[in-house]
Amino acid sequence: MPTYDYECKKCGHKWETFESIKAEPLKKCPECKKAAAQRVIGPGAAILFKGSGFYLTDYRSDSYKKAAEADKKSSEPAKSEAKSSESKSSESKSSSSKSSKSSD
């Protein structure tokens, strides 16, 4: 349900009302009680999307992005070391399984 802006033509009072789209426009001013209210067409409350996406992380500050990048770079060597130790253990497993099969 939208919020509509109204203005009284007699006393100049301005107000907003939350009402259904199907509802008839108000006629009576809540301030002076005269039937001189008129719905005002305004810009409305538009949603503004900026940037390449619509996620909260798309709008992070530059300092946050730099810190995240530095953290990412510092964790990359640890990952490559873990991969090399995994590959060594898998190589030793495969060679041990080959030797056990050949001894049978």
Q: Are 6 and 38 in contact (CB under 8 A)?
A: yes
**How many domains, in total, are found in the chain?**
1
Enter the pTM of the model.
0.41
pLDDT for position 4: 86
Residue 99 counted as domain residue: no
C-alpha–C-alpha distance, residues 55 and 66, integer Å = 18
Alpha helix stretches (DSSP H) within 14-61:
none
pLDDT for position 45: 62
Domain that holds residue 29: 3-40
Residue 100 counted as domain residue: no
Residue 20 counted as domain residue: yes
Residue 28 counted as domain residue: yes
Residue 62 counted as domain residue: no
pLDDT by position in tens, the chain (length 104): 788 899 999 999 999 888 888 989 999 999 999 999 999 886 666 666 666 666 666 666 788 888 888 888 888 765 555 555 555 555 555 555 555 555 55
Residue 34 counted as domain residue: yes
Residue 14 counted as domain residue: yes
